[in-house]
A and B are shown apart, each in its own frame.
Chain A
Amino acid sequence: MLELQDLHAYYGRSHVVQGISLRVGLGEGVGLVGHNGVGKTTTLRSIMGHGPRTQGMIAFEGRDLHSAPVHSRARRGLGFVPDAEAVFPEMTVEENIRAGALLRPRADQQHCLETAYQLFPVLAERRVQLAGTLSGGQQKMLALARGLALQPRLLMVDEPSEGLMPINIDLIAGALGRAVDSGVGVLVVDASFHLLKTVCSRLYVMKRGVITGEHQLTEFATPDQLVATYLKGEA
Chain B
Amino acid sequence: MTAQLGAVADTPAAESAGLPTPIAGRGQLALAWSRLRKDRMALLAGTVILLLVAIALAAPLIAQVTGHQPDEQFRQTGLTSAGLPVGPSREFWFGTDNLGRDVFIRVVYGARISLLVGVLSTILAVAAGLVIGLAAGYLGGAVDSTLARFMDLVLSFPLLLFAIALVSVVGPSVPLAILVIAFFSWAAVGRIVRGLALSIKEREYIEAARALGAGNRRIMLIEVLPNLVAPVIVYTTLLIPIAIVFEATLSFLGLGVLPPTPSWGNMLSDSLQYYQVAWWFVLFPGLALLLTTLAFNLFGDSVRDALHPSTTHLAGTR
Co-assembled chains A and B: no
Identify the A interface with B (CB < 8 A). none
